[in-house]
Structure 1
Amino acid sequence: MLSDKKVLIVTQTSLSQNYHETLGRVPRLLRQHGYAVEWLKVTEERFIFDNITQYCGVYFDGAAISANDTDKHAWMRDQENFMKQCVDKGVPVLAICMSAGLLTRVLGGKVSRHASGTGERGYRKIIPTAEGRHFFPDDFNAYFWHQDGFSLPKDAVLLAKSTLFNQAYCYNGNSYAIQFHPEWTHEIIRRYSLTVERDALMFKGADDEKKQSEDAKKHAASIEAWFDYFLNYWPVNNHLRK
């Protein structure tokens, strides 16, 4: 039986960083929704995690590598195995960016670059599908920081896309892959995207530093409100409980 009130956060942040740094609003909003939070910090070491059903959900953070790099990093293969266990046991998964790509691979989908070589770095409009309209308003803009995109796995329901990539899908009614970064605050964008990963500003499809900073301030409240709303559906769908 799954726990009602405990969420595991799996973060791929390197040993040189504080693992809270890139998680932004995730722990705070989960706690506001009544969940206890535990952490599993993935490094280059192998990991095995057996007691999955003690959690009502598992959140998988993103990382600045491709989901196709599993041949280079053993921990990525371990994470894929962990995700498969979650799916097989019915534990709700929320996978962000690179981890959304890993979940897609687990479900039989593909991760690849856009044919034009263009990525998405900065704020872009989210285009909801008919099935995603209860999640995404028509005027919603989210923060992107990626080169790869994911295909739609068999039996998954596409919820949103951008002009270039799929952006969100649901699998089995309780697990979600999200390409954009709802967790990142303006401070994280300023410190990480515009400092640590500054070279990526030169990539095709990247907004300049000034625009990213301005857009981060402009859209902060709507991103916060959206993520807060989304947590009414994940990991426990409170609407189904009523």
Structure 2
Amino acid sequence: MITILQHGEHEPAGTVEECLAARNEPFRILRLYEGDALPDDPPGRLIVLGGQMSVNDESKYPFLAPEKALVRKAIARDATVLGICLGAQMIAAACGKKVCAGEKELGWRKIQGCNTSGHRFFPGEVEVFHWHKETFDLPEGARLLATGTAVKNQAFLLGHTLGVQFHPEVTEPVIAFWAKDLGDHERLAIMKDTATKTDGNRVLCDAIVNAFLNGWKM
């Protein structure tokens, strides 16, 4: 059973959920913002989604501290873990690394694969969707898989744990909701890009889910 941790109503599993359902993979979604309890022991396969909060907001979001503890246990037990945006930052924080303000990235940005030996999951350049204003230090022993111009740490692998700073799971309706409070020019530009780039993002998400199910054998 795959466990998915969701941090907000408007940060759903999206395409990740669709890809798992298409493969008939059983999963459960724990909606932490609604008070769903975290398990005492880490599941063998764990997906940590994004969210509008910071991993440092423990006083405002009481579930963050026990969530970090759960992620830390999962990594220590070599569970298969995927962290998306906030989820990647959660992995870094669980490993004792700093998560702090960084270059704000909203919308579609290009990242560059690092061609890490044995893990060429991001070959060359790929365009992905970002929605974040914080960044993180890499955990000890992690290998950087993809980097960006404004924000260096875009994807990393630590044993059987993958963290990505971008949003492979995001769908067009979710992007429209996130962008609704932006200025007209920025919002329309993002939605114009989204109309042509969502299909490619779905292909990338499917590849990530497939690799997740295979324990990151890429």
* Same fold flag (TM > 0.5): yes
Evaluate the alpha carbon distance shift between residue 70 and residue 209 of structure 1 in structure 2; reply closer, same or farther with a 3 A threshold. Answer: same
Letter in 1 for 2:32: V
Secondary structure of 2:163's partner?
A: strand
Mapping of residues 93-108 of structure 1, within 5 Å: 93-108=81-96
Deviation (angstroms), 1:90: 1.9
- How far did 1:239 drift? 4.9
Displacement of 1:46 in angstroms is: 8.0
Q: Which residue of 1 aligns with 2:27?
A: 37
1:7 and 2:5 matched: no
Aligned to 2:40: 50
CA distance in 1, matches of 2:55, 2:216: 31
Matches within 5 A, 1:143-158: 143-158=129-144
Q: May I ask how many residue pairs the two structures share in their alignment?
A: 215
Contact 1:46 1:75 in 2 (8 A): no
1:70 and 1:44, CA in 2 relative to 1: closer, same or farther beyond 3 A? farther
Cα shift at 1:109: 1.6
Native 8 Å contact 1:140 1:222 kept in 2: no
Q: Which AA in structure 1 matches 2:100? A: S
Deviations 1:93-123 (A, max 9, x none): 1111112111101112211123xxx300010
3-state DSSP of counterpart to 2:33: coil
Which runs of no fewer than 5 residues in structure 2 stay unpaired? none
* CA distance, structure 2, for counterparts of residue 68 and residue 60 of structure 1: 16
SS where residue 228 of structure 1 aligns?
Answer: helix
Distance 2:200 2:116 in 1: 21
- Residue aligning to 1:122: 107
Identity %: 25
What is the 5 A alignment of 1:1-242?
6-13=1-8, 17=9, 22-43=12-33, 45=35, 47-53=37-43, 56-114=44-102, 118-131=103-116, 134-165=120-151, 166-172=153-159, 174-190=160-176, 192-195=177-180, 198=181, 201=182, 208-237=186-215, 239=217
Match of 1:49, SS state, is coil
Q: Which runs of 5+ in 1 are unaligned?
A: 1-5
- How many Å separate the matches in 2 of 1:193 and 1:46? 24
Report the CA distance shift for 1:60/1:210 in structure 2 as closer, same or farther (over 3 A): same
| C-alpha separation in 2, matches of 1:235 and 1:106 | 22
Q: Match of 1:41, as an amino acid?
A: R
Q: Residue in 2 aligned with 1:3?
A: none
Separation (CA, whole Å) in 2 of partners of 1:230 and 1:106: 22
Confirm or deny: 8 A CA contact 1:104 1:151 kept in the other structure: yes
After TM superposition, the runs of 4+ consecutive aligned structure 1 residues lying more than 3 A away are 44-48, 237-240
Higher strand share: 2
Deviations 1:123-147 (A, max 9, x none): 0001111218721242310000000
Q: What TM-score do you get using the length of structure 1 for normalisation?
A: 0.81
With normalisation by structure 2, the TM-score equals: 0.89
